[in-house]
Structure 1
Amino acid sequence: MNRVKGIRRYPLKSAAAEHPAEAEVGKHGLGGDRTWVCVDADGTIGSAKQPRLWARLLEVAVRYEPAQADSEGRTIITAPGGEPCEAGTPEADAAVSAWLGRPVRVTRTAPQQLKRHHWWPDEPGMIPEWAADAEPGGDAVVDARPSSDGRFFDFGPMHLVTTGALDRLSTEHGEEVDPIRFRPNLILDLPADPEPGQRITIGTDVVLEVAIATPRCVIPSLAHGDAPADKALLKTLARHHRIEVPYGRATCFGFYADVVATGTVATGAEVRILP
C-alpha cells in the first residue's frame, strides 16, 4: 500500500522546514505554509534562489501554531543561537536581520510590486528555455507572485516528490539524495511521479491534481540542515532530468499539484493514483 512518507511545511519562505505529523490542506495548500516572507531593503522578497543574499535563511527554524478555540494562530521564528520570537514583531525582524547581517523585515503583507533576486546556475542545462537570455552565473530581479490568499509560492499550492523518483536520482548521483533539498510539502511512497492531469487521493478526504513538473534552480545544491552543499547534484539533475514542459525544456524534479478537495493529511495516510 502506498502512503505519505513525510510532510514538510515552510511557514517562512526559504527558511528551514517544519516536520508536522499531520496538517490541514486547504484550497491554497498546507495550513500555515509560506505565509510569511522576508523583505529586503530594496523591496525584494527573500528567496534562497539567490544564495548570496539568502542561503543563511535556510538555517532559521520556524514553527507554525494553528489557531485554537482559545487562541489565534501564530508563527514562531528562531534564528540559530537566538531566542524564539513571534513573526510580525520587532523582535523577529531584529533576530533574522542579525542572523543575515543586514536589515530585513518579516511580513505576511506582499509588497506592491512583488519581485525577488534570482541567481542563474552556471551548470549547463540548468537554465530553462524560457530564460534563454539569462546569463549563467548572473543575478536577475524577476517578478514573483503571491497566491490569491497572499501566500508566497513559486508556482502551485502543493509541491510533491516521490520515493521512486528519489531512489532513481540517488542511483544517478551515486549517493542518497535527501528529499529536503527539493523543499516538498509531501513525500509520497510511490514508484514514480504521476503524470500532469492525474489525480491523487490522500487519506479519506484530500484530492490533488498534478499540474506540472517542477523546474529546478540552485536550491537543491545548497546546504540544508544535515545535508551539506552539493554543487554536483545540479550536474546530475541537468544530465538526467531535463524534460519538455509547457513553457519549453527545463531541468525538473518533483511536481506541483492543485488542491481539488480539502481535508487533513497525515504521515502514513494511504495514497492512491486515480485512473
Structure 2
Amino acid sequence: MSDLLGQVLADLDAEGALLEALVADRPDADWRRPTPAAGWDVAAQIAHLAWTDESAVIAATDRTAWDALVLEAMQDPEGFVDNGALRGGAVGADELLVRWQKARADLQQVLRALPPGTKLPWYGPPMSATSMATARFMETWAHSRDVHEALGAEPQATDRIKHVAHLAVRTRDFAFHTRGLQPPTEAFYIDLLAPSGERWVWGEPDAVQQVTGSALDLCLLATQRVNRADTDLKARGDEAEAWLGIAQCFAGPPGTGRDATEENQR
C-alpha cells in the first residue's frame, strides 16, 4: 500500500468517524429530519454512503456481483441512486448505523489489501485504489455537510478537504464533457487558501486562466453544496469563469445545485 493511499484512507476514516459521532445515539426522529437533498432525510444520506461503500467493495472483490449492479443501474439510470438511498434509509436507525459501520470497515480492509496498480470498475472510468478512496472521502464529506445542516450542527473545516479540492481540479474536463461542452485545452492556475491558512496551488502562475479563493468554497461548489454567488472564488479568464459555473467532482449527470442566499439573489 502506498503512503498516499494510506493517508487518504486515514482521512476517510476520520471523516466517517466525525459523521458517526454526530448521528450515533440520536433519537429516530433526528434520523427522519429532511436534508438539503430533495426527498432525502438523514437516514437516506447515511444509507447512500453505506450503499456506495458496499458497491466499492463489490467492485474490488466480485466481478459477477459488480456486473449485476451495473445492469441494475442501467435499468433505471435516473432513479437507482435515489431508490437505493430511500430503500436503505427506511430501516431503523440502529440497523442502518451497523450497516454503515460494517461497510466502512470492509472498504478500508479491501482497499488496503489491493495489489499496487489494480484498477477497479466503477460507474465511469476504472479507478485506482487511491482514486476510489478519494472519491469516497469526497462523498462522505459532502453528505456529512447535508447531515450537519439538517441537524443544525456546525461542520468542522479541516485540511482533509484537500482531497476534495484535488478532485475538483482533476475533474475540470469532466464537468465540461458531462454538459456536452468542449473543455479548455490549457491548464488553469488554481491558488486556494486552506482552512489552516496554507496555500494550495495547481498549475503555473503565468497561466491565462486562473481561479483564486477559498479551498472550502471550491470544495462546496464542486460538490454542489453552495451557489457560486455565495463563494469568494474569483476567476480570471472566460474559461475559468465558465468552469466555476459548472464545476462537478461527482460521477453522474449534472445536479441542480443550490440556490443563492437571499442576500446574493438581489
Regarding TM over 0.5, the answer is no
Larger proportion of strand: 1
Larger proportion of helix: 2
Q: Give the TM-score taking structure 2 as reference length.
A: 0.25
Q: Give the TM-score taking structure 1 as reference length.
A: 0.25
- Between 1 and 2, higher relative CO (CA 8 Å, sep ≥ 6) is seen in 1
